[in-house]
Structure 1
Amino acid sequence: MEILVFLTLLVVGLHSAAAVTHSLKYFYTGSSQVPNFPEYVSVGMVDEAQISYCDSNTNRNEPKQDWMSRVTADDPHYWERNTQICVGNQPSFKANIETAKQRFNQTGGVHIYQVMYGCEWDDETGEVDGFIQFGYDGEDFIVLDLKTETWIAPKQQAVITKHKWDHNRGQTVQFKHYLTQECPDWLKKYVNYGKSSLLRTELPSVSLLQKTPSSPVSCHATGFYPHRADMFWRKDGEELHEDMERGEILPNHDGSFQTSAVLDLSSVTPEDWRRYECVFQLSGVKDDIITKLDKAVIRTNEETDMTIIIAVAVVVVALIVIAVVGFMVYKKKKDGEAKALNNSSDSGSEQSERLNPQP
């Protein structure tokens, strides 16, 4: 369940009505023996923006976007119901971790159990799709193939679960109904509630960063929205595929995003720098943002370090990336020990009940 930064030439805010594919995703994470981390966390996201949060410490599901408060106008008991789901999930997640430990002949230690499910909707074609994946200790355990309505088990320890769930046709039909019908209906409501935010277009500020004169040059873009973007280097107008590394698109604290592309200059002569440029492309925006490779505009040393420190600090908006945090803790503790996804095979019908009311 391979579930799951940056920066000076231009800041512009625009609005666009370009057709896009919207997504609604939920992440349920159960953990065992993770220091200073709740045993259960649920996070909801629309178009990569966090909309809800609940954990086993607060036992309260709460909105994370101002516009999400509008949901109670149509559904007065929405937050109360989803709080009950959050609380009700906790015992089963704890039990599923224990079951998974037995399957993998484990005893104590740090363990992460996770469910990711949701749907996508193309607001132009009307096409919808859904997904549900279960994970254990950072690796895929079992995934639903909606086309064949069967379960895929990449781990031997998941075969028992696959057989049980493949024979439970009622559960599979229920999952498919939620993922392809109810979930898209909720997604459309959320997009309507938050359209002024979700349908906006914001261009980034872009800058070139370099730690030392011999270090690679990082082209950083921050503050853009939506997250559907690309950044790369090109030489003489041709996109580079070697000596260039794309960074991930990561969230900022304000709901915008950031990314980077790093260029290795070890084989580039100073005379050839003018042949290189960084290109940023944003979905729905016709014109690219182009930044020429120029020593005069590169930020270096302490200035660069401070920029990165601030950017990284801002990115740690906990709980949007709850799964990644959990997985990193696990990998540090277990030194790379590979384990597989979720084992809710003994509580599948309960999971189905949890999915249906969780929009």
Structure 2
Amino acid sequence: MGTSVVTKSFVVLSVFLLCGISPSLETEKHSLYYIYTALSKPVDLPGIYQFTAMGLLDDREIDYYNSKEQRKIPKQHWMKEKMQEDYWEKGTQSRKSKEQWFNVNVEILIKRMGHNGSDLHVLQWRHGCEIEKLGDEVKFSKGIDEYSYDGKNFLSFDDESSQWVAPDPAALPTKRKWDNVPILNQYTKGYLEKECVDWLNKFRDYGDEKLKNGSSPDVHVFARRCTSDKTKLKLTCLATGFYPKDVTLLIRKYRTSLPENEVESSGVRPNHDGTYQLKKSVEIKEDEKAEYDCFVAHRTLKEPVITKWDGKWSDCGGSLSIGISIGIVVGIVLGFVAAVVCYYLYKKYKNGEYYNMIKYSGQTVFNIFF
């Protein structure tokens, strides 16, 4: 009996180690990214501006700027409370400078590519860093500094070699120019590995309890007769209200997970309050009496949540509770808007001779054109 227990314990420990999971301490991953998007001309679509910029801490928006209001504003109440007015004023000037920089570079690329200036083109920049935290130890994981043009990779920074990489031949002139400015590459590497990490840690210290400790998922299982085959039901597992967004959700039959290729997934979607939701569904026979449940694991949970289906179902027009319905509707709307915007930008979619450096609220802005 004792040998059996020891064997089981060894197997469990081995699985944890093979999966890269510490039984006592879980490695946390955190990120800070800034995304800048510039269009070659205005677009008559609600909420779409010629230039936008936003900061994302662990995929949660913390600040925002657009070419209409031209103000860098906080998107989290703790950012507004903790950051001084001077931070937002200097940040606004930095974003205005970047807006002008992007406007110039979009024109440069349109000419370099031989594109029609009357068509819509998009230039986007994403830069930031990721860290891993184990207990009190914080380790730099990776930095990203990359540009895309019309939805395709254009130019990126290799942090290890401190060189620019040009996957697009049209980016080679920019790569040669920027690689010949050592101070630019030194700054970029230093920002990704040190300054960005410092800001990430500072913002997390400032953040609210939900950001620091996360938010546990609410789990619901329900079934509806919404299929073309009237003898079948659609069984759905919904996990909502969790943060951060990394989550494991499985639909199980007799405690055995169903293959993912048999399961329909919504993908992780944002809720209106900064948390996330994930919905998975599978078709089952209406008269099936099998035991189904929903298995959800999240870092805020000491152990997985297992919610059994009670065997009840409703017609497709049946209502859910208000809380769940609102969460689903908001998630679908946000997901749909994001999908439409991304698709539109994708379908419709750096030569200067000098550079300078400007200090804004501790952030160096390089004005070196493509």
Shorter-normalised TM-score: what interval? 0.7 to 0.9
Q: The residue matched to 1:35 in structure 2 has which SS? A: coil
What is the CA–CA distance in structure 2 between the aligned matches of 1:39 and 1:111, rounded to whole Å? 11
The correspondence for 1:127, drawn from 131, 136, 139, is: 139
What is the CA–CA distance in structure 2 between the aligned matches of 1:241 and 1:316, rounded to whole Å? 21
Aligned 8 A contact 2:215 2:300 in 1: no
What is the CA–CA distance in structure 1 between the aligned matches of 2:274 and 2:88, rounded to whole Å? 22
The RMSD of aligned alpha carbons is 3.5
Query: If the length of structure 2 is used for normalisation, what is the TM-score?
Result: 0.76
What is the CA–CA distance in structure 1 between the aligned matches of 2:57 and 2:98, rounded to whole Å? 21
Name the counterpart of 2:111.
102
**Letter aligned with residue 304 of structure 2:** D
Matches within 5 A, 1:149-298: 149-207=162-220, 208=222, 210=224, 212-213=226-227, 214=232, 216-239=234-257, 240-265=259-284, 270-271=287-288, 273-274=290-291, 276-296=292-312
Q: The residue matched to 1:199 in structure 2 has which SS? A: helix
Deviation at 1:53, TM superposition (A): 0.9
Aligned 8 A contact 1:53 1:62 in 2: yes
Deviation at 1:322, TM superposition (A): 9.4
Matched, 1:116 2:131: no
Greater displacement, 285-294 / 134-143: 285-294
Matches within 5 A, 1:42-121: 42-73=53-84, 77-107=86-116, 108-121=118-131
What is the CA–CA distance in structure 2 between the aligned matches of 1:358 and 1:89, rounded to whole Å? 11
Name the counterpart of 2:18.
none
**Letter aligned with residue 26 of structure 1:** Y
| Structure whose alpha-carbon radius of gyration is higher | 2
Structure 2 unaligned regions, length at least 5:
1-24, 366-370
What is the CA–CA distance in structure 1 between the aligned matches of 2:109 and 2:27, rounded to whole Å? 42
- Which of the pair has the greater relative contact order for Cα pairs under 8 Å at 6+ separation? 1
Change (3 A) 1:238 1:58: same
What is the CA–CA distance in structure 2 between the aligned matches of 1:164 and 1:61, rounded to whole Å? 31
**Letter aligned with residue 22 of structure 1:** H
Change (3 A) 1:42 1:235: same
What is the CA–CA distance in structure 1 between the aligned matches of 2:124 and 2:26, rounded to whole Å? 34
What is the CA–CA distance in structure 1 between the aligned matches of 2:336 and 2:286, rounded to whole Å? 40
What is the CA–CA distance in structure 1 between the aligned matches of 2:152 and 2:289, rounded to whole Å? 44
User: What is the percentage of aligned positions where both structures have the same residue?
Assistant: 28
Deviation at 1:272, TM superposition (A): 6.2
Q: How many residues align?
A: 328
**Letter aligned with residue 327 of structure 1:** C
* 1:134-160 Cα distance to aligned partner (Å, 9 max, x none): 112222212212122222322232233
Aligned 8 A contact 1:165 1:345 in 2: no
Deviation at 1:165, TM superposition (A): 2.6
The correspondence for 1:357, drawn from 357, 363, 368, is: 363
Deviation at 1:353, TM superposition (A): 6.9
Aligned 8 A contact 2:62 2:75 in 1: yes
Q: The residue matched to 1:301 in structure 2 has which SS? A: coil
What is the CA–CA distance in structure 2 between the aligned matches of 1:347 and 1:218, rounded to whole Å? 58
**Letter aligned with residue 68 of structure 1:** M
Aligned 8 A contact 2:126 2:147 in 1: yes
